Structure 1
Amino acid sequence: MKKLSMILLLCGFIAVNARAVTLDALQQRFAGQPVVRAHFDQQRRIGGIARPLRSSGELLVARQNGLWWQQQQPFLLTLILNDSRMVQITGNQAPEVITAASNPQMFRFNHLLRALFQADRAVLEQNFTLQFTDQGQDNWQLVLVPKTSPLDKLFTSITLTGRTYLDHILLEDKQGDSTAITFSQQRTQPDVLSHDEQQRFVQ
């Protein structure tokens, strides 16, 4: 009877560990999400300012198209990122286009945003030391410590946490300021863009 109990306990232990979250498993999970839509709330804490600066809006990540990020409060600001350029639109102003040739540092940083949302291990390992933790019950945390310039001059660390999706990003910079972004209402269906969503990437 004791042997049977020990065997059942061992089998249970193996089963639990078989479900442990790894960075490779996380990347595979995100790879199975070709389209992710979500709401975001951003809170920035700056030294010398008593209240945090808050903003919110919607985002769309599409593997074939890029990242569409629209801040809707406190003012309208739209960012469109793909492999070749970044477009920034403030309010009703004309779009500002940034390419790797015109502003390599800014383009490189913004290009990394897509890698964060897709948990692209190859891209992340080029720029950060990775500290991945399985926090149990399918929750995970990934701490990124910059190791390349200019990221290592700007940030102390970037911490990603989530479960099925990326739920939270915390950016801590060298000045002691921080930016926390929380994602909610994530949806992956339909897994293709509507006509209206496709038009968001046409600028």
Structure 2
Amino acid sequence: MSTVNYTEIIFKIKEEYIKYTRVNEDGSVHFTLEMPVAEQVCPHCGASTRKSKGKRPRDVKFGAIQHHTVTATYLQRRYKCQECNHTFIEKNPFVSRYLRLSKTNMEYLFRQLGEKGSFTEMAKRSDVSVSTVIRYCSKLAIPKPAQLPTVLGIDEYKGNADGQIYQVIITDLRNHSVVDILPKRDTRALIQYFKTFS
């Protein structure tokens, strides 16, 4: 039998963090995760502490593997600083604060942006809603280039930035890459944008 821990390779879940595993009839997998008590640094005063102050359950979506969803209940531990009496949550490799989407699932979601496919297909593969995919994609920012390429492509597309129905995408036609995206498609907005380059 193989001793390779695929949950750690794929989802960054160490075997010692898994308290329970449940495989449902539909093939989906659910973990109960808990990290051991460990030395923590207080984010308020920088003191070290090991004083645990209970755990709170968090639902985390890890995506899908072989078309079966992987979810977890993460029993996130809270600590109390003995120097300043502040409480804070432990650091973990699974999920960022306030989010339900695991770090590995977010990485997978953004890797899919390099492939052809719709938001609906991306959502299905990552086991999230279409609106979640759109929300995360809208957070991506394309840095403004220092200079423009020799050959530009300018086109409009439907979007929702700044309350506008249509936006403008500027592309480098020779390298087949996006140069920038402008929130408005009117002539004045284009002139103002191009004035910023020598």
Shorter-chain TM-score above 0.5:
no
Relative to the length of structure 2, the TM-score reads 0.21
Which structure's relative contact order is higher, taking Cα pairs within 8 Å and 6+ residues apart? 1
Higher strand share: 1
Indicate the structure (1 or 2) with the bigger Cα radius of gyration.
2
